[in-house]
Amino acid sequence: MDPALRGDATGAQNPSKPPCVKAISVSGQQHGLVVLGEHDEVLRPAKLWCDTESAAEAEELSAKFGWKLVPSFTITKLLWLKRNEPETYAATRCVLLPHDYVNWWLTGRKVMELGDASGTGVLDVEGRRWDTAAMDAVDARVRELFPPLVASPDQAIGTLRPEVAAQLGLPAGVVVGPGSGDNAMSALGAGAAVDGATVVSQGTSGTIFASSSTAILDPTGLICPFCDATGNYLPLLCTLNCTRVLEEVREAFGLDHERLTELAEADAAGPGCGGVTWLPYLIGERTPCWPHASGALLGLRPGCMRPGLLYRAAIEGATLSLLSGFRRMTAAGLRPGAQLRLVGGGAKNRLWKQVVADAFGMEVVLPAEPDSAALGAALQAAAVLQGTTVSDYVAQHPPPMLDQVIKPNPEHRAAYDEALVRFESLGKQLFAQHTK
């Protein structure tokens, strides 16, 4: 199997019975820069979304474009490539995103759909077309490097090439949907295909995104104005540091997550951690755009270096980072529903689920399928196969939710409101002055 297929690819039916598979779609991580040469060879390892080497290019393009780009966006990586690896850039004939590369391998077509293309930095999101003026501001060649856009998220981009079908053990004629980035697919798999439905994803990165019938444009760049996989929009906010922060505590004390959770639940400090604040920016940060920030533990007093307290502080730091962005999203016009859908590895932790409910002041529900991105890809594939719209198909086949509903504890709301003010203030004092 091609190494590119070791990511998020899913069949529309049970993959344990390959002959029954009739359609597939691909979910892939966003922003990654895949550059192909004259003979479609990969010219260098892909630069991933979390690569912040292009921070200087992001600042420069922000000034040119008139809105704040973060280093994650693909166009900043392409400009970095031009300056730091000019021979590779000169040899580049096509720029793809990770899931586009897999689609090309599957079908032989080089195309890009709107949801993932939203993360390149050169898509006119409202107009749903390439922003050629932005491309020209980077380099005259850029227009030639990006592939055509897929007009509709509801239409197939092709069928499996015969040699690929044989290699995968699938029948000829399997339909390939356009796919999308992992967040757009996760929204489908979590049932967030109606206006205001909001998802929090707790993985290596933390993301919060919501379905919206209108684009939410934020010139500060904190809210990404993405298109979704249904023809609407998916305003999104992403942080670089989420579950990794908890791993730091686990590694430091040599305790497993269950034991640390027990200690955190029993710790006397409780919500707000008695004033201890963990700024979780271990690898810099995307939101806010502080690529040179670092992690910081503040408010320590004698006796605070307790594993339970630090574990709760890690949970709260990662949560407050997302909550800060969510408050900005609502201020910009998002009207969320009454519940948060929680996905990702962090959603397995019972304390973290409660902290999210308490800090956001919203009920938390969990999709029954934990891999919401893969399920979303399968739902899109099924819709494309049946010739219906993705939004209608998801409405008719809503992903099931677990019976558990985590309700917020109103007694904890004040502690988290105070903690958020402290979190934002300390972050600005330490890191905002380093951002142009």
Catalytic residue numbers read: 182
Distance CA 405, CA 338 (A): 12
Contact 146, 33 (CB under 8 A): no
CA dihedral 105, 107, 108, 111 (to 10 degrees): -90
Instruction: Tokens 């922000």: give the residue.
Output: 62
Any idea what the Cα angle at residue 365 is, between residues 180 and 312, rounded to 5°?
100
Contact 415, 363 (CB under 8 A): no
| Pairing mode of beta strands 339-343, 198-202 | parallel
Distance CA 34, CA 4 (A): 11
Q: Helix/strand/coil (H, E, C) string of 339-403?
A: EEEEECHHHHCHHHHHHHHHHHCCEEEEECCCCHHHHHHHHHHHHHHHCCCHHHHHHHCCCCEEE
Distance CA 273, CA 357 (A): 17
Phi-psi region of 361 (alpha: psi -120 to 50; beta: other; left: phi over 0): left
Q: In 3D, which of 393, 388, 376 has the Cα closest to residue 154?
A: 388
Distance CA 140, CA 148 (A): 17
The alpha carbon dihedral of 222, 223, 226, 229 has a sign of positive
Distance CA 208, CA 185 (A): 13
